[in-house]
Amino acid sequence: MAAVETIDTLNDSMGLVSFATVVIMLHSNRFQVGWRPASWVFNMAYLDAFAFLFFYLAGVVEDAASCQYTATLLLMADVVWSVKDFFKFGFIVYRALAIVNARRQWPIYFVSYVSLGLYWWFLLESYPVVVSHSECAPSNIPTDGQLALYLFWSVVEIGVSAAVVFKMSRVSRIVQKANIGVEVYTHFKQAEEVRLLIATLGMGAVTILAVDGLVRRRDDVAISRIVFVYGQLVLVLGAAQGSVGQREEGEPGDDFSDI
């Protein structure tokens, strides 16, 4: 059980990586926030670090404060995380649409608002104090809202991963016949796409395992925060290089519109 406890400790310590992500953004001078989907990755990073502050504060005061107070702090952390995921999944869909050269904007907002709604459904079921004030500790029992949320996330992550793989396979065939300038440009674009693919595959694997655990009613080793936070770091690193944040909303992800 020592190994499980070590992994649980690492999982709960991912706030340090989240704080470091914000430092990287500030160091790279890529710290702007905004409502354009291209900037949502930075909103995501700030909100993740902010949520971890509430999460850690709840652990610090747990022994001294009342149960209701601790539960309120945990609820505040989850509310902030729900908004963070609004921006994260919206940005992921935005990047996927840019990669496949699609100009539609409604899928970005559709995915974001559905994620937010399902997350709040999950919170209403997990924190009975919000509804009835009869209990104060958040429930660890799997809920329908949690299952629906993870299923939705899995579909989005699988869909984005499939879109990236499909586009990369088509571009690679074109590059074999292209000149050196196009090849260098495509290498740069593929680096962007690989970062997105790594993030979505990692997070997708975790959410699929979480869905399986919820259906089977079993507790798996907690690694979700490890994968999610590092996946977010990968997204921020790509944006911090300037290739994402400077692109206007609706602009195609590349110049291979005929691919």
Residue with structure tokens 């500030």? 26
> What CA–CA distance (Å, rounded) separates 141 from 130?
16
117: amino acid identity, one letter: G
Check pLDDT > 80 for residue 219.
Answer: no
For residues 101 and 254, is the Cβ–Cβ distance under 8 A?
yes
At 188 the pLDDT is 55
> What CA–CA distance (Å, rounded) separates 259 from 257?
6
Check pLDDT > 60 for residue 181.
Answer: no
Span 37-71, pLDDT tens digits: 989 999 999 999 999 999 999 888 877 777 778 88
To the nearest whole number, what is the mean pLDDT of the chain?
80
> What CA–CA distance (Å, rounded) separates 28 from 74?
31
At 176 the pLDDT is 54
Confidence of residue 135 (pLDDT cuts 50, 70, 90): low
Confidence of residue 246 (pLDDT cuts 50, 70, 90): very low
Q: What one-character DSSP code corresponds to residue 33?
A: -
Check pLDDT > 80 for residue 182.
Answer: no
Check pLDDT > 50 for residue 34.
Answer: yes
Check pLDDT > 70 for residue 72.
Answer: yes
Check pLDDT > 50 for residue 250.
Answer: no
